[in-house]
A and B are shown apart, each in its own frame.
Chain A
Amino acid sequence: MTTSAMLILDILMVLSLLSLAAAALATSDARRSVILFMAFGLVLALAWARLQAPDVALAEAAIGAGLSGALLLAAVREQPRPALPDDTKTVHHRDHSSPKLLLEWTVTLLCIVVAGVLAWALAQAFDRAPQDTLAQAVNENLATSGVSNPVTAVLLNFRAYDTLLELAVLLTAVLGIFALGPARPGYRAAGPVFGGLVHWLVPVLILTAAYLLWVGAHAPGGAFQAGATLAAAGVVLRLAGQRTVGLPQGRTLYLVVAAGVGMFLVVGLSLLLLGRPFLGYPPAWAGGLILLIETAAMLAIAATLVLAFLGGRPQPPRTNVTGGKPLATLISTLSPRSRQGLSGADAPGAEPHKHFSEDNSQC
């Protein structure tokens, strides 16, 4: 009974995924396809959960659904709005010029090739004997890694180089974002309902991020998921009309963004100086070092994702910062009265950011 129910569950899940993907690709309205893509990401998170991969499910829910959806929506908005309302069917004129057609066919062919390679790799993985798999090797060495979550052990210890390079890729992305110029124009200040949501959502997101960072040592979680959750807090603040969305200003921002790669290098080089291999943690200190690197990585990832949402270099606040309690100034930002003057959103610029970066450095 249970297994047949699970089988039907799997089939329905696959059908949902396929139909969402097909619908997202088939529509010619960019906004429609972005929203369907977000829905696809959420259902994909459910699929990862069903496959008993909680770390990936966490990452997919945080990044794939929430954050990349927000990014894509903001990007789609920059297209000029079509004159017709949404309800009328837009006639999609296919561009039949030969370079475009050639490009389409090339991309389609490449996708098919990649899908074929992935399918072949999956088939190979099924044939492997259990003792050859990565999982076996990881489980044998888990005791010396400093953490008890095998995914974190692989990411931060056994394959730490890969994570270092991934963070370097994120840093390069930030350089690209800075090269785009100033950030996109912001959003209108939040009304009472949205403001009420932001009031509790942002602290809860920050707290959840800290929790995910901490729990990543012995349960699914870790720096990437925590960074994405923290970035979601920044995105929500931005959507509510906050200008400096908790990002530090000027040089501190550069420091935070480079912190992921930087901490890896600091730890690795210090270990080199002590006579150990680069990033070869001594087993006694491994847990502490991993937590240190993960904290820096979380801040870097969060800053990178928020910068990506901003779409450029964050602008400094125009007016002077007045003193005052952070919460009071945050409340005044989000109340309807502040909609009269945009400069009202500038005032709490420094306070929440201090709050923000202080909160996280205590992790």
Chain B
Amino acid sequence: MPELLAVSALALILSLFLGLLRVVRGPGAGDRMLAMQLIGTTGVGLLLLLSLLLDQTALIDVALILALLAAVAAAAFTGQELETGDD
């Protein structure tokens, strides 16, 4: 079973790497935002696998933070600023 976890972690980092190819080369700015989504979900999966593989339950907390903060990053990217100094 640990072998399966290790190979799964490898598969996840491989899929992350493949996704990064698109992120780095992608034509538009939105493509780079996909990086947040990609790393957000793939990273959470990888962290959960690593937490069981390396026997570190704290990594599950890291996965939670990663999931939440990836959403914050997406919101930061797409927030529309008020044009005037009306604030």
Which residues of A are interface residues toward B (Cβ below 8 A)?
Answer: 1-2, 5-6, 8-9, 12-13, 15-16, 19-20, 23, 31-32, 35-36, 38-39, 42-43, 45-46, 49-50, 52, 54-55, 57-58, 61-62, 65-67, 69-70, 73-74, 77, 86-87, 182-188, 194, 197, 201, 204-205, 208, 212, 215, 219-221, 225, 229, 232, 235-236, 239-240, 243, 315, 342
Contacts and interface: CB of A to CB of B under 8 A. Distances in A.
The size class of the interface chain B forms with chain A is 35 or more
Nearest to A86: B29
A310 B28 CA distance: 28
Contacts, number: 192
Judged by DSSP, the binding face of A is helix
26 contacts: A12-B13, A15-B17, A16-B13, A35-B33, A36-B32, A36-B35, A42-B70, A45-B43, A49-B47, A49-B50, A50-B50, A69-B73, A73-B77, A185-B83, A185-B84, A186-B87, A187-B80, A188-B79, A201-B68, A201-B72, A208-B68, A225-B65, A235-B72, A239-B72, A243-B87, A315-B87
A69 B64 CA distance: 18
Interface of B: 2-3, 6-7, 9-10, 13-14, 16-17, 20, 23-24, 27-29, 32-33, 35-36, 39-40, 43, 46-47, 50-51, 54, 56-59, 61-62, 64-66, 68-73, 75-77, 79-87
A205 B46 contact: no
10 tightest CB-CB pairs across the interface, nearest first? Answer: A66-B69, A54-B58, A70-B76, A220-B58, A5-B6, A39-B35, A239-B79, A35-B32, A2-B6, A23-B24
